[in-house]
């Protein structure tokens, strides 16, 4: 990463952010008009999908609330889009130039806070977690580009394992049933590890006395009968169930079936998603089933889910057998061991989502226990700072931004993002111009027309 050579540039906002018009008001108005249809389309799909997942026929009241929710969320996203250009131009005119912080970060702080105020309070937490997820990855990429940190192989598995172990520990304690920890994340955990592992734990009286008629004669390893005795004890151990185990049936059956069900469920889910994404090609009979549907990647999600459940249950039963008791703390080593399965499905988005969910729940517990202070508006502040980080990365350091979010910025801007003239930002020392061209070429973002939609260039 090149060291910054300058902190200020004197270019106008037209030379960088809206080269198609010399009027800032036209640029802002055009972005407002072009982003609205896209945002409306996005949130219509989101709310309709949410309605379908409820598995019930919506009433008139439900439809009315859905329409209001679509309009409010659309207003939130549109506000986040057009006010960014508004504040960027305003700061440029007030300061007479661009500072490294006023190119994207500070304008996005102002626009993001203005937008999150518009959104419904119930949705703010979900939005904050999403942008925090992407921003965490982006900040790591920035640090790695500067040589401050270095990625390690399967590092996402470490993030996932440490985070899921904490959540499993809370699950075994039974804290997920309280209003403080109540979260949909524990519903997902219940699918993986089952309801039998759910806390709080029941106290059991463990008897260590052996039956009076049980033979205490030492086993003679030199005889065939001794070997038969060892084999019989081994079969009894794997076929039996410890008194502390909360499940029914043998531990072996519990572990194997616990891994088989998620394995088949994950494969079925992966196939269903691929069918849904390729429905157009399937209808037109253009799909190659062996290449696009039934390949090795189809097994990845199922292998992850099946191995995770199998390893967790095997480790839990082994610990109960070994220590002759059941303890919520067993969830920590069992969770760490089962996280090895994440190498089959090494998705950094999933790992960071679990991490941020864990931090959110721990923070709520800390507030309830009065270990940490409650910060009013923390969710709004988190959303604002994380979104500002993403806008800064997208404009100044595009190589560090997740590709899907770069495409999102392109779509929400009415395809204006690819028309920004960012070569002058090379003065800041980040090689912005060439990096932007590389990212655009890799993502096949083509500048089809010199003017964007609703350019208002002739007004």
Distance CA(255)–CA(265), nearest Å, equals: 16
Give domain status of residue 381, yes or no.
yes
Per-range mean pLDDT, top range of 37-41, 215-219, 453-457? 37-41
Instruction: Give residue 97's domain range.
Output: 3-149+375-443
Cα angle at 48 between 47 and 54, to 5 degrees? 95
pLDDT band at residue 214 using 50, 70 and 90 as cut-offs: very low
pLDDT at 192: 86
Question: What 3 state SS string does 367-413 have?
Answer: HHCCCCCCCCCHHHHHHHHHHHHHHHHHHCCHHHCCHHHHHHHHHHC
What would the mean pLDDT of 424-453 be, rounded to a whole number?
88
Q: Indicate whether 69 and 92 sit together in one domain.
A: yes
Cα angle at 42 between 39 and 47, to 5 degrees? 120
Give domain status of residue 258, yes or no.
yes
pLDDT band at residue 208 using 50, 70 and 90 as cut-offs: very low
Distance CA(39)–CA(61), nearest Å, equals: 23
Question: What 3 state SS string does 158-183 have?
Answer: HHHHHHHHHHHHHHHHCHHHCCCCCC
Percent of the chain with pLDDT over 70: 87
Q: Indicate whether 255 and 401 sit together in one domain.
A: no
Q: Indicate whether 137 and 91 sit together in one domain.
A: yes
Give domain status of residue 279, yes or no.
yes
pLDDT band at residue 139 using 50, 70 and 90 as cut-offs: very high
pLDDT at 56: 79
Q: What is the pLDDT of residues 5-23, one digit of tens each?
A: 578 899 999 999 999 998 9
pLDDT band at residue 249 using 50, 70 and 90 as cut-offs: confident
Q: Indicate whether 161 and 119 sit together in one domain.
A: no
pLDDT band at residue 272 using 50, 70 and 90 as cut-offs: confident
Give domain status of residue 452, yes or no.
no
What would the mean pLDDT of 46-70 be, rounded to a whole number?
87
What would the mean pLDDT of 192-209 be, rounded to a whole number?
71
pLDDT band at residue 209 using 50, 70 and 90 as cut-offs: very low
Q: What is the pLDDT of residues 304-337, one digit of tens each?
A: 999 999 999 999 988 888 888 889 999 999 999 9
Residue 214 CA: distances (Å) to CA of 43, 217, 218 = 69, 9, 12
pLDDT band at residue 243 using 50, 70 and 90 as cut-offs: confident
Q: Indicate whether 278 and 336 sit together in one domain.
A: yes
Q: Higher confidence at residue 290 or residue 386?
A: 386
Whether 205 shows a pLDDT value over 80: the answer reads no
Distance CA(300)–CA(208), nearest Å, equals: 43
Q: What is the pLDDT of residues 140-151, one digit of tens each?
A: 999 999 999 999
Closest CA to 302 of 267, 346, 333: 267
pLDDT band at residue 290 using 50, 70 and 90 as cut-offs: low
Q: Higher confidence at residue 233 or residue 427?
A: 427
pTM for the structure as a whole? 0.85
pLDDT band at residue 49 using 50, 70 and 90 as cut-offs: confident
Give domain status of residue 368, yes or no.
no
Give domain status of residue 222, yes or no.
no
Q: Which residues contact 22 (CB under 8 A, 6 or more apart)?
A: 14
Whether 210 shows a pLDDT value over 70: the answer reads no
Whether 78 shows a pLDDT value over 60: the answer reads yes
Q: Indicate whether 181 and 69 sit together in one domain.
A: no
What would the mean pLDDT of 252-262 be, rounded to a whole number?
89
Q: Indicate whether 15 and 76 sit together in one domain.
A: yes
Considering the chain, what is the average pLDDT of its residues?
Answer: 86
pLDDT at 267: 86
pLDDT at 451: 84
Whether 163 shows a pLDDT value over 70: the answer reads yes
pLDDT at 279: 74
Give domain status of residue 285, yes or no.
yes
The answer to whether 160 and 184 are in contact (CB under 8 A) is no
* Count of domains for the chain: 2
Which helix (H) or strand (E) segment holds residue 98: the answer is: strand 98-99
Q: Indicate whether 54 and 127 sit together in one domain.
A: yes
Give domain status of residue 50, yes or no.
yes
Q: Indicate whether 169 and 144 sit together in one domain.
A: no
């Amino acid at each position: 990463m090149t060291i910054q050579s300058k902190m200020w540039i004197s270019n106008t906002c037209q030379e960088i952010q809206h080269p198609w018009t010399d009027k800032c008001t036209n640029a802002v108005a055009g972005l407002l008009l072009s982003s609205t249809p896209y945002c409306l389309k996005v949130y219509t799909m989101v709310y309709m999908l949410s309605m379908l997942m409820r598995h019930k026929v919506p009433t008139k009241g439900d439809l009315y609330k859905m329409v209001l929710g679509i309009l409010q969320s659309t207003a939130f996203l549109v506000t986040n889009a057009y006010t960014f250009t508004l504040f960027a131009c305003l700061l440029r005119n007030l300061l007479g130039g661009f500072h490294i912080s006023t190119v994207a970060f500070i304008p996005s702080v102002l626009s993001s806070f203005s937008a999150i105020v518009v959104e419904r309070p119930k949705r703010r937490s979900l939005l904050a977690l999403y942008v925090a997820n992407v921003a965490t990855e982006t900040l790591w990429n920035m640090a790695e580009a500067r040589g401050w940190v270095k990625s390690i192989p399967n590092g996402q598995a470490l993030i996932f394992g440490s985070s899921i172990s904490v959540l499993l520990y809370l699950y075994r304690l039974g804290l997920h049933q309280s209003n403080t920890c109540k979260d949909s994340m524990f519903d997902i955990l219940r699918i993986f590890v089952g309801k039998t592992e759910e806390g709080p734990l029941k106290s059991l009286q463990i008897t260590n006395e052996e039956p009076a008629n049980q033979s205490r004669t030492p086993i003679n390893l030199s005889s065939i009968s001794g070997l038969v005795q060892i084999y019989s004890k081994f079969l009894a151990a794997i076929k039996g169930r410890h008194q502390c185990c909360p499940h029914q049936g043998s531990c072996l059956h519990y572990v194997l079936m616990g891994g088989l069900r998620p394995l088949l469920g994950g494969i079925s889910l992966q196939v269903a998603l691929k069918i849904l994404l390729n429905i157009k090609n399937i209808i037109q009979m253009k799909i190659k089933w062996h290449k696009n549907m039934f390949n090795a990647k189809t097994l990845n999600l199922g292998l992850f889910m099946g191995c995770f459940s199998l390893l967790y249950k095997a480790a839990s039963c082994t610990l109960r057998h070994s220590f002759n008791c059941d303890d919520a703390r067993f969830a920590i080593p069992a969770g760490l061991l089962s996280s090895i399965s994440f190498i089959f499905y090494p998705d950094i988005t999933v790992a960071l989502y679990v991490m941020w969910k864990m931090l959110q729940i721990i923070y709520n517990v800390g507030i309830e226990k009065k270990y940490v202070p409650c910060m009013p508006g923390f969710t709004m502040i988190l959303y604002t700072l994380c979104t500002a980080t993403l806008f800064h990365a997208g404009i100044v350091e595009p190589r560090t931004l997740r590709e899907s979010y770069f495409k999102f910025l392109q779509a929400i801007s009415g395809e204006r993002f690819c028309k920004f003239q960012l070569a002058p930002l090379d003065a800041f020392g980040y090689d912005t111009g060439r990096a932007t061209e590389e990212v655009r070429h890799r993502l096949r973002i083509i500048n089809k027309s010199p003017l964007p939609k609703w350019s208002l260039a002739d007004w």
